[in-house]
Structure 1
């Protein structure tokens, strides 16, 4: 476990992921870094020597302010993948099932925040992930709440990536007040309505998932997606259309199939109708953008030669290989199996 100690104070991968997501939310990363006192050029080059907690605090406050999204932590958690933290290989080498991977991942929380720790308890029916406040003075602060939301959502959605299944928590306990206007959004993203608790923040999952084997090949796909996602940081100045932002979001969040227009609209803090209208002004429909993202990903995965047509079909959200085959033929004039052999 030496790699964990070595990486405890390295916030750079996390900040890079946050900035890449901020780009999707119409916030320029260089401006955000400048306001937080972070050297953007050094961060981009990967040689930023140290980042202070006060800089992290300013980064959070400014990104919330510039996006105008009071639920930024919730939405960022929905979009973040564990591979963005640069620890995929170690987790895969050290884990055979969900329980082991989750236990190791819980030790990596210092890569995100020193305010919150994660612990796990078990019983015969469930395992419970607890989010423990390590700094009681910060518990009432806005940054603490945003970070808590991020971590709770991150855990739920990352379990999906471990086993390629959309998991619904049995119970969510939450110490913060949620306004009536935000209950629906919390319930959508957390997949269960949080219950107010005076004692703890926790998520309860069915015990059957604990020993479920993890799919290491899925993390390899995530690594590809995260690389693409972070490259957007550099390309953002020349691709600043709303269409490009939706396309990039689809690429970065497609490892469990493309998300719905309602999910994307909520993540961009607009209605589905507004999202469609903004795309129409640029001469495209949401379906066209989603179709192009699937085409791009399918060609990339098949060209890699490491994944079967069935895997690629599943990863892109198709329930039947036949449906994927028909669509791929429409895109390229070839069956995916033939394309894979030709490209290989």
Structure 2
């Protein structure tokens, strides 16, 4: 559990930095006087304090929900790598459930098929009332949905999401979980349409993700020098295996409103659409250069409903049509 606690701590600190938190101060408050966790193990107490202080510093009582929305399978280390090697979504979820104990000791996971649906249940092993437990449960539930997105390269909408208590901000839970949360005594669960069970897992997106992460880290200036639009570009690029997310989703992950985000970008002389288009261009060039994707598939992955719209955009970016670029 020590390595997983350290991995979670580093993910949480990176998320806090992305949202303009004072990371050195956060480390000191959470029991890391020397800064980021190093070779020494992270204790349960330190991780608990880190969750509490991150939520307080970001003024975000739903920090677990938003952290889960922002991470990829790499955040789970070896478990994520194993899940990515699965043949189908059902196999991936079953594997994830069997390996959950490597990631957390707060709950176990089980996957149950029934009729035309299947349900992922999270069975608590410890106290369900603490702030940290709720943040971790939120994190893993939304992470499950977003991981399915990445495995299948499509945006998955659950049939039902259930908690044993009433949510404090139901609208935000509905936005992130893409389903109005329901209440059922003693149950944390997500129900999915059965058609996803045998859907083949698409692994090429993870190869793309690794390339994008390397590219983004290579071009990103040091954190103190980063402008808002550079940080948004970095976020879109490193999460691009799920598609280009909306302005509203970006704003939520940066702990602000869509209007405030647009205003701050305007002060830097750029629009959100310009940043998103630049990321789409980077993705389009990579997809087409790889030769692994038909033009229509590339168009869909970049969020264009019509191939003609993608062709016009690509010609505006490069002066060539995507077909001509791919041929040459």
TM-score, length basis structure 1: 0.85
Q: Which runs of no fewer than 5 residues in structure 2 stay unpaired?
A: none
Given that 2:2 and 2:42 are in contact with CA atoms closer than 8 Å, whether structure 1 keeps it comes out as no
Alpha-carbon separation, structure 2, partners of 1:304 and 1:21: 31
Given that 2:27 and 2:36 are in contact with CA atoms closer than 8 Å, whether structure 1 keeps it comes out as no
Q: Which has the higher contact order (CA 8 A, sep 6+)?
A: 1
Given that 2:84 and 2:151 are in contact with CA atoms closer than 8 Å, whether structure 1 keeps it comes out as no
Q: Give the match's secondary structure for 1:255.
A: helix
1:194-343 residue pairs with structure 2 within 5 A? 194-227=181-214, 235-239=222-226, 241-304=227-290, 307-340=293-326, 342=328
Q: Corresponding residue for 1:4? A: none
1:211-256 CA distances to partner (integer Å, 9 max, x unpaired)?
A: 11111112222333444566799831221x2222222221222223
Alpha-carbon separation, structure 2, partners of 1:200 and 1:228: 41
Q: Corresponding residue for 1:25? A: 19
Q: Give the match's secondary structure for 2:191.
A: strand
The answer as to 2:167 corresponding to 1:173 is no
1:153-185 CA distances to partner (integer Å, 9 max, x unpaired)?
A: 111121111112222211111013313xx1111
1:265-324 CA distances to partner (integer Å, 9 max, x unpaired)?
A: 222232211111111111111111212222233334444555554443333222333322
Alpha-carbon separation, structure 2, partners of 1:16 and 1:312: 33
- Quote the offset at 1:122 in angstroms: 1.7
Q: Which runs of no fewer than 5 residues in structure 1 stay unpaired?
A: 1-6
Q: Corresponding residue for 2:4? A: 10
Residue from 136, 154, 159 that aligns with 2:143? 154
- The CA RMSD over aligned residues, in Å, is 2.6
Q: Give the match's secondary structure for 2:109.
A: strand
Number of residues of Structure 1 aligned to a counterpart in Structure 2 = 326
Alpha-carbon separation, structure 1, partners of 2:153 and 2:270: 31
TM-score, length basis structure 2: 0.88
1:24-44 CA distances to partner (integer Å, 9 max, x unpaired)?
A: 21124444333323454664x
Alpha-carbon separation, structure 1, partners of 2:119 and 2:26: 36
The answer as to 2:82 corresponding to 1:90 is yes
Alpha-carbon separation, structure 2, partners of 1:70 and 1:163: 30
Alpha-carbon separation, structure 2, partners of 1:106 and 1:306: 31
Alpha-carbon separation, structure 2, partners of 1:32 and 1:231: 26
Structure 1 residue ranges (4+ consecutive) displaced by more than 6 angstroms after TM superposition:
229-234
- Quote the offset at 1:144 in angstroms: 0.7
Given that 1:17 and 1:230 are in contact with CA atoms closer than 8 Å, whether structure 2 keeps it comes out as no
Given that 1:130 and 1:202 are in contact with CA atoms closer than 8 Å, whether structure 2 keeps it comes out as yes
Alpha-carbon separation, structure 2, partners of 1:73 and 1:234: 27
Given that 1:20 and 1:230 are in contact with CA atoms closer than 8 Å, whether structure 2 keeps it comes out as no
